[in-house]
Amino acid sequence: MSAVIEAISGKASEENFSRVHRVCLEVGQLCNVEIEALVFCFDIVAKGTLAAGASFDIASVPGEGWCERCRAGISLASRSDPCPSCGGWDLDVTGGDRIRIRELEVE
Amino acid sequence: MCATCGCGPKEGRRVIQLEQDLLSKNNQFAGQNRRYLGGLGVPAFNLVSSPGAGKTTLLTRTIQDVKDRVPIAVIEGDQQTSRDAERIAAAGAQAIQINTGKGCHLDAHMVGHALKKLTLDAGSILFIENVGNLVCPAEFDLGESRRVVILSVTEGDDKPLKYPNIFASADLMLLTKIDLLPYVSFDVGRCRQQARQVNRSLEVICLSAQTGDGLDLWYEWIERSGEELQHRPEVDVLRAGGRFDVVE
């Protein structure tokens, strides 16, 4: 979570703000992150920084993949799931595997 | 605009679009490490596993077997102590210990600092032994050329489906301690199948660092990976003093 604070602090002088009220995160369904734990850690890490007390707005991004057998894009709820159309495993993850800071509401 | 309800910012406030990957800083350092190692022509292998899978034992055996042909350097990651680095040094390789303290994984920044302390000659090989953990190390690119996930047969054959991200991120899975197969209910075929379910291009090698079974396949894999690295076009560009797709 300190990566969020670092990214915010880096932007503060560039964008000229002194307080962050809201952090909007985009969390992929397939990435290794427990959202509740993430928010809990953020509250602790943000203490004493310009993001102290900021609220969180989390947009969950669905997992996406490519099925080689179907030659088609598919939706994936978990990395352990087979292709929902053919039941096969010839899959590559193509989206929903990242966490991004989408935007900040600042003052 | 708020993703939950679509409301706009309150008065006196404004919204800044960041669109920044949370790991972008780590990935920048990883790019620097990869460029540095690529320029030296040194292949780097990031070894990940749960604690006790046999990473250090495999490394000490590997060092003893190949050190006369190839110089080996090791970056050791543990929360505490320099015991592993001492074991590696005793086996005859150059070793640097990183203690992550409370951290549960190595990151590319720590590895970059350790790289500065190592003397890496062309033709040598670098192993990075990550902190024992099947979760967090999956997310952190260290700048390695290949990632190797190690699973011992005493841990259970269903780990690939339980911890899919780390198996999905690896190039090779080593099934270790196969000399213990007669004493445990570990189904190699099922494990291999489950691992391929989360990563269809994952290579698999079964071995025992105790008996030496399968080690020849491991050494061949290391050699092949090193050769592939040497033949990557960006390495030629680096050698000619050029640059490739790494963010500063």
**pLDDT (0 to 100) of residue B248:** 31
Residue B45 forms beta bridges with which residues? B127, B146
Sequence-ordered alpha helix ranges (H) in chain B: 24-40, 55-66, 83-91, 108-117, 159-162, 164-169, 188-198, 215-230, 233-239
Cβ contact B10–A11 (<8 Å): no
Q: Does A95 touch chain B (CB under 8 A)?
A: no
Task: State the Cα–Cα distance between residues B208 and B152, nearest whole angstrom.
Answer: 9
Cβ contact B16–A15 (<8 Å): yes
Q: Does A93 touch chain B (CB under 8 A)?
A: yes
pLDDT digits (tens, 9 = 90+) for B76-121: 999 899 999 999 999 999 999 999 888 889 999 999 999 999 999 8
Percent of the residues in chain B that have a pLDDT greater than 70, as a whole number: 90
Indicate the SS3 state at residue B105: coil
User: Does residue B52 fall inside a structural domain?
Assistant: yes
pLDDT digits (tens, 9 = 90+) for B35-81: 999 999 999 999 999 999 999 999 999 999 999 999 999 999 998 99
User: Does residue B242 fall inside a structural domain?
Assistant: no
Residue B209's φ and ψ, nearest 5 degrees, are -75, -20
Domain count, chain B: 1
* Closest chain A residue by Cα to residue B158: A80
Where in the sequence is the domain holding B130, given as residue range(s)? Answer: 14-231
**pLDDT (0 to 100) of residue B234:** 53
- Using an 8 Å CB-CB cutoff, list chain B residues near A99: 21-23
Q: Does residue B126 carry a pLDDT above 70?
A: yes
Question: How many angstroms separate the CA of residue B195 from the nearest CA in chain A?
Answer: 9
For chains A and B, count residue pairs whose Cβ atoms are closer than 8 Å. 92
| B111-138 average pLDDT score | 93
- Using an 8 Å CB-CB cutoff, list chain B residues near A32: 135-136, 138-139, 165
User: Does residue B43 fall inside a structural domain?
Assistant: yes
Q: Does residue B244 carry a pLDDT above 60?
A: no
Q: Which residue has the higher pLDDT, B241 or B246?
A: B241
User: Does residue B244 fall inside a structural domain?
Assistant: no
- Using an 8 Å CB-CB cutoff, list chain B residues near A98: 21-23
pLDDT digits (tens, 9 = 90+) for A44-97: 888 899 999 998 888 999 999 999 999 999 999 999 899 999 999 999 999 999
Q: Does residue B4 carry a pLDDT above 80?
A: no
Task: State pTM to two decimals.
Answer: 0.86
Domain of residue B166, CATH code:
3.40.50.300
User: Does residue B226 fall inside a structural domain?
Assistant: yes
Residue B210's φ and ψ, nearest 5 degrees, are -75, -50
Of B13, B164, B197, the CB nearest to A105: B13
Task: State the Cα–Cα distance between residues B142 and B134, nearest whole angstrom.
Answer: 16
pLDDT digits (tens, 9 = 90+) for A45-58: 888 999 999 988 88
Q: Does A11 touch chain B (CB under 8 A)?
A: yes
Of B18, B165, B197, the CB nearest to A101: B18
User: Does residue B7 fall inside a structural domain?
Assistant: no
Question: How many angstroms separate the CA of residue B40 from the nearest CA in chain A?
Answer: 30
Contacts of B160 (CB under 8 A, 6+ apart): B151, B167, B173, B191, B194, B195, B197, B198
Task: State the Cα–Cα distance between residues B16 and A11, nearest whole angstrom.
Answer: 9
* Closest chain B residue by Cα to residue A67: B200
Distance between alpha carbon B142 and the CA centroid of its chain, in Å? 7
Of B16, B23, B198, the CB nearest to A11: B16
Q: Whole-number mean pLDDT of chain B?
A: 89
Q: Does residue B125 carry a pLDDT above 60?
A: yes
* Closest chain A residue by Cα to residue B193: A89
Strands B172-176 and B14-21: unpaired
The ipTM estimated for the assembled molecules is: 0.80
Cβ–Cβ < 8 Å for A17, A107:
yes
Of B2, B25, B196, the CB nearest to A3: B25
